[in-house]
Amino acid sequence: MCNSKIDGRPVLQPAINSFSAALDPPKSMKKPSSPPAMAVLKRGNDTDGLNSSGEKPPTPRSAAAKPPIVVRKKSKKVFAGGLPGLEPAALTAAATTAGSIAAAQREQASLIQQQRKLRIAHYGKMEAKLQNKSVAVHSGNNGGVNQEEKRCTFITSNSDPFYVAYHDEEWGVPVHDDKILFELLVLCGFQVGLDWTTILKRRKEYSEAFAGFEAEVVAKFTERQMSSICSEYGIEQGRVRAVVDNANRILQITKDFSSLDKYFWSFVNYRPLNPNYKTCRKIPAKTSKSESISKDLVRRGFRSVGPTVVHSFMQAAGLTNDHLLSCPRHHHLLSLH
């Protein structure tokens, strides 16, 4: 039942026949729809940076297509010769220039070497015969280079003139003079720890210090004389004493063998040894023969006469011909036997 008004009076009516417009319609149980997407403002070309036309919903950044990356390769121009960026003409000019410079340097080195030979004074016991030596020097002559190649390989274009002259005139020449044998024995002992060039340059000083290597005079040196030699010529005192002691031993050998020459040459049967080495690497620092001589010298009281020193002495005194087979001096010394 419900109350209603008719003509201003309340009237009871059944509920089934009543309809109330005032009642609100029942609310739907459906989920509310999602709110409308917000308008996206698109920036155009206007100066204010705003444009209300053509709104489009935003798209996620991950879905945005990335523009393809274009890698530009630098082009390299490769011409004849395999060098990039050089024209064939430039390559030809560079090769020609480099070859010309190298050839000019070789010719200049050959010319300097030949001129230096003419200026070198003989450094030995025999007089130099430079007047019989003539070298034709001109830019197209390569004879000097060929001559350098024939020498022992330890002689190079950079070798000191003293060393070159010693190789060409003295090294390996058989020596039979007792004074020179004494001198070479002293020089080989002094050479330990130094080089032959240094010894050869001081050769005259050593001769003055030890009285021209007269064994009789050197054997009588006093303590005062030995100290004077040390201070004046800068020679170690131990080496000076060794020379004086060896001079006394030489005097004894002279009594036993009549000369130092016969003593040393008796070890090689009075003929030089000829090992016939082909390369410098084959030349040893000592041999069984030098060890035998060294032992005998030590037994007799000599000092500074190890196997290596004795082998160097044998080479210098000509007891062994250690010039290489390719060296002209090797064949020249063979003809002296």
d(CA 4, CA 20): 10
Q: HEC string of 273-330?
A: ECCCCCCHHHCCCCCHHHHHHHHHHHHCCCCCCCHHHHHHHHHHHCCECCCCCCCHHH
How far, CA to CA in Å, does 239 sit from each of 156, 204, 226, 286? 31, 17, 10, 22
Q: Are 55 and 42 in contact (CB under 8 A)?
A: yes
323 annotated ligand-binding residue: yes
d(CA 314, CA 166): 15
331 annotated ligand-binding residue: no
Q: How many helices (H) and strands (E) does the chain have?
A: 13, 2
Quick count: other Cβ atoms within 10 Å of Cβ 12?
A: 8
Backbone phi, psi, residue 65, to 5°:
-75, 125
Which among 314, 312, 302 is positioned nearest to 188, based on CA atoms?
Answer: 312
Which among 243, 235, 197 is positioned nearest to 218, based on CA atoms?
Answer: 243
Q: Are 89 and 96 in contact (CB under 8 A)?
A: no
2 annotated ligand-binding residue: no
d(CA 316, CA 321): 9
188 annotated ligand-binding residue: no
Dihedral (CA of 157, 159, 163, 167) sign = negative
Q: Are 130 and 119 in contact (CB under 8 A)?
A: no
d(CA 90, CA 83): 11
Spatial CB neighbours of 334, under 8 Å, sequence gap ≥ 6: 274, 321
Report the binding-site residues for Zn(2+). Answer: 152, 167, 323, 327
* Residues making up the binding site: 152, 167, 323, 327
